[in-house]
Amino acid sequence: MAFIKIHQKNVKNVEEAIKVCPFNAIKSKNDKIEITSACKMCDICIKKMPDIYEFIEGKKVKINKDNWKGIAVYVDHVEGDIHPVTYELIGKAERMAKKINQPVYCLFVGSNIKHKAEDILHYGVDEVFVIDKEELYDFRIEPYTAAFENFITKVKPTIVLVGGTTVGRSLAPRVAARFRTGLTADCTILDVKDNTDLDQIRPAFGGNIMAHIHTPNHRPQFATVRYKIFDAPEKNKNKTGKITECKIDSNKLKSNIKVLEVKKKEKVKSIEEADVIVVAGNGIKKEKDLEMINQLANKLGGMVATTRPLIEAGWTDARQQIGLSGRTVKPKLIITCGVSGSIQFVAGMNNSENIFAINNDPKAQIFDVANYGIVGDLYEIIPELIKKL
């Protein structure tokens, strides 16, 4: 593993050597300086003080990439009802697989699910691996991890894609750790090189940069992707590929967790499913003014969403937030009202089909991504829009 070596004898001024780090990852201890776990490996300290800080390259592990073939998608589901993020990942996997001439696999883990696997074959998958065991009825992390590990050990896919759902975010890191490989969370762009290395791109440092992350010396390569980032393929009338039942020893599926009761959440329509969204931004002056936004959304048969400041003010529910720390949406029409268009917000909605922005600042960042824009006072424009509708 790579690390930063400190040449203590070259430290003349401890305070200056500590100040060089913008992330406060360098501390003083017993008249010596040390680098803490807050280090981002950004190389700033090395560039500014090369006589003190030195980057030491870790020993690279050699791996035979020819032993790992195929792109695998984990089928996210609840009692066999497949989450739509699965189909979006299948579509992306197919496009990347064509580039490297490799198959697309799906892993379907659960109980009494084999008949549901037939539906996946309508989406162009080469093979669906099904692990159908009674012990896998309720999601528990240990048995599901064991089943996932069993699949990877036998099939050896070079890339594994998992939906950024509650289950996916819990499962993927644990499985990746079993293989001592890397995982990139919440990817917004994926591409694959001819040598099967996965180019994983995601916002970093609060969305201010786009980081390209590679795992060239380990396999498989893991990535999680949020719902509504990629396009799902069209469902074919004819089935392709095949279903393979995987066997696993029941002893490997033992768990220290006992599910006492499952309480089903009330189904509420999510902004992720909406075709039309009206977004209230920081330009809304009072909580009462949200009635105007709701009225516009109702006229269009859409839903209301908000930016982070309105959530923090307690005006709306966190489930209505769009952005890196909220939901990712891809509606047919999105109207932003008084939204400045920060990178964090735009990352959650820039795949929308039509973006219509209203802002009184002609230099607002939102106009950089909008298809249509009105420079003006939303308190004058929105009532006029409602009248027209």
Q: How confident is the model at residue 266 (pLDDT cuts 50, 70, 90)?
A: confident
Question: pLDDT at residue 205 above 80?
Answer: no
What class is the 65-253 domain? alpha beta
The top-scoring range by mean pLDDT among 2-11, 32-41, 374-383 is: 374-383
pLDDT, position 340 = 94
Residue 112: left (phi > 0), alpha (psi -120 to 50), or beta? left
Adjacent-strand bridge partners of 71 = 104, 159
Q: Please state the rounded mean pLDDT for residues 302-312.
A: 94
Question: pLDDT at residue 187 above 90?
Answer: yes
pLDDT, position 343 = 85
Mean per-residue pLDDT over the chain, rounded? 93
Q: In the structure encoding, which two tokens stand for residue 128, read together?
A: 């669906």
pLDDT, position 120 = 96
Q: How confident is the model at residue 354 (pLDDT cuts 50, 70, 90)?
A: very high
Q: Please state the rounded mean pLDDT for residues 194-210.
A: 86
pLDDT, position 155 = 97
Q: How confident is the model at residue 145 (pLDDT cuts 50, 70, 90)?
A: very high
On whether the pTM is more than 0.85, the answer is no
Q: Please state the rounded mean pLDDT for residues 364-387.
A: 96
Adjacent-strand bridge partners of 355 = 334
286 burial class (0-12, 13-18, 19+ CB within 10 angstroms)? exposed
> DSSP for 116-180?
HHGGGGGGT-SEEEEEE-GGGSS--HHHHHHHHHHHHHHH--SEEEEE-SHHHHHHHHHHHHHTT
Give the integer Cα–Cα distance in Å for 271 and 186: 18
271-388 shares the fold of 65-253: yes
Q: Please state the rounded mean pLDDT for residues 266-282.
A: 91
Instruction: Give me the sign of the Cα torsion angle 252, 257, 258, 264.
Output: negative
Q: Strand 77-78 to strand 81-82: parallel, antiparallel, or no bridges (unpaired)?
A: antiparallel
What is the C-alpha end-to-end distance of the chain, expressed in Å? 61
Residue spans of the domains in the chain: they are 3-56, 65-253, 271-388
Query: Could you report the per-residue pLDDT of 122-135, keeping only the tens digit for each?
Result: 999 999 999 999 99
Cβ–Cβ < 8 Å for 327, 319: yes
Distance of CA 318 to the CA centre of its chain: 18
Give the integer Cα–Cα distance in Å for 224 and 163: 5
Cβ–Cβ < 8 Å for 248, 146: yes
The domain made up of 271-388 has a fold known as Rossmann fold (3.40.50)
Question: pLDDT at residue 85 above 80?
Answer: yes
Cβ–Cβ < 8 Å for 341, 365: yes
Distance of CA 168 to the CA centre of its chain: 10
Give the integer Cα–Cα distance in Å for 60 and 22: 29
Question: pLDDT at residue 1 above 90?
Answer: no
Query: Could you report the per-residue pLDDT of 31-67, keeping only the tens digit for each?
Result: 889 999 899 889 999 999 999 999 998 777 788 999 9
pLDDT, position 153 = 97
Question: pLDDT at residue 19 above 80?
Answer: yes
pLDDT, position 330 = 94
Q: Identify the architecture of domain 3-56 in CATH.
A: 2-Layer Sandwich (3.30)
